Amino acid sequence: MRWWRRLVRRAARVLALIALSLATAPAVAGDLAFVTCQNGDAVGVLDLDAGIQVARWSVPGKPAGVAASGTAVFTVAPDSKTVRRHDAATGEITAKVRLEGGPIGVTHDPARGRLFISDWYNARIWVLSDGDLTHLRDLPTGAAPAGLAVSDDGRFVASADRDANQVSVFEADTLTLHARIDVGARPFGLRYAPDGRLFVANVGTNDVSVIGAQMDNVVATFPVGERPYGVAFAQGRAFVTNQYADTVSVIDTNSLKTLETLPTGEYPEGIDASSDSRYIIVANWFDNSVTLIDAVTLSVLKEIETCDGPRAFGEFVLGVRK
């Protein structure tokens, strides 16, 4: 019976290891993060469940902007002025276009098959077909447009016009101007909350402007850390990266009060949520890493190594529930 006891002990050890793994590893349901690395001319593909980088795509031209949507990943490389459409499964480039100007931010409107690219130098948004990246038209903005966002209901497209201290909002269906709204100083990143409000990170005033769901005025402003950059949402909370503070501010979206300030790697920039809203993912530009945060417990789970100079400016996470 000695062999039986050995078998029982071995099975117990295996079960214990499985239990420990389940208790400590974040179950992100197969989510992948596509992290643009500006210094490394690459995109790092991270398996958030496994907590490792599983692939690296060569993307010349110092990529910064990114939009992961459906079966495609769109990247914007400012140095080469190139926008690329990649197959999300393989990284294969299925379309690309060179845009004369200063392409930087990107967002995708899958319902209408459109891609929006901000032109930093020429105060406009390029509207492209999301299939072959054909140029459809331009939308005028204020000076130095950076971050772009499409509302969850697909009604609006918004641009953070950094040097104009404003946000330009367009009707997504007709591409007509809806409003220009003054915000704090030097807005850069922005994101729509699930309830339709727009949160705008103001680099120059270290705060976030909240625009009402009708996109006609600022309804609130709240302070965050130094040099806020990006915004994401999970669990009824807003998460804001603070570049100079090496932190993420956690804000209750109802009261707009700070709940917690969490440490990240050095110079956090791009931020996104997992498809089940359980985890927040932060790209740390100076640390070549991504910080994984539990959005429920507000605890830092781990850092995942990635390629050189991760920025991930946009919505960069794809998952089975998205």
- Mean pLDDT for the stretch of residues 266-272: 98
Please give the helix or strand (H or E) that residue 17 lies within, else none.
Answer: helix 2-24
311: confidence class by pLDDT, cuts 50, 70, 90: very high
| pLDDT for the residue 251 | 98
DSSP 205: T
Please tell me the distance from the alpha carbon of residue 21 to that of residue 148, in angstroms, as a whole number.
Answer: 38
Evaluate if residue 16 carries a pLDDT over 80.
no
| pLDDT for the residue 54 | 95
Evaluate if residue 19 carries a pLDDT over 70.
no
- Mean pLDDT for the stretch of residues 285-308: 97
DSSP 4: H
Domain ranges of the chain: 26-318
Q: pLDDT tens for residues 175-192? A: 999 999 999 999 999 999
30: confidence class by pLDDT, cuts 50, 70, 90: confident
| pLDDT for the residue 253 | 98
Evaluate if residue 9 carries a pLDDT over 50.
no
Backbone phi and psi for residue 164, each to the nearest 5 degrees, phi listed first: -105, -5
- Closest by CA position to 316, among listed 198, 197, 232: 232
- Closest by CA position to 248, among listed 222, 224, 274: 224
Counting beta carbons within 10 angstroms of the beta carbon of residue 64, is it exposed (0 to 12), middle (13 to 18) or buried (19 or more)? buried
Contact 66, 52 (CB under 8 A): no
Query: Beta strand 228-234 with 218-223: parallel, antiparallel or unpaired?
Result: unpaired
pLDDT-above-70 percentage for the chain: 90
* The residue to which tokens 């009060």 are assigned: 257
Chain-wide mean pLDDT for the chain? 91
Evaluate if residue 2 carries a pLDDT over 80.
no
Please give the helix or strand (H or E) that residue 236 lies within, else none.
Answer: none
pTM of the entire structure?
Answer: 0.90
* The residue to which tokens 């000076």 are assigned: 143
Counting beta carbons within 10 angstroms of the beta carbon of residue 59, is it exposed (0 to 12), middle (13 to 18) or buried (19 or more)? buried
Q: pLDDT tens for residues 118-147? A: 999 999 999 999 999 999 999 999 999 999
- Mean pLDDT for the stretch of residues 200-208: 98
Q: In what order do the strands lie in the sheet with 177-182?
A: 145-150, 156-161, 166-171, 177-182
CA dihedral 212, 216, 220, 221 (to 10 degrees): 120
CATH number for the 26-318 domain, one of 3.40.190.10, 2.130.10.10, 2.60.40.650, 1.10.540.10? 2.130.10.10
Q: pLDDT tens for residues 79-118? A: 999 999 999 999 999 999 999 999 999 999 999 999 999 9
| pLDDT for the residue 265 | 97
Contact 290, 282 (CB under 8 A): yes
Query: Beta strand 93-98 with 82-87: parallel, antiparallel or unpaired?
Result: antiparallel
Q: pLDDT tens for residues 43-71? A: 999 999 899 999 999 999 999 999 999 99
Longest CA span, the chain: 81
320: confidence class by pLDDT, cuts 50, 70, 90: low
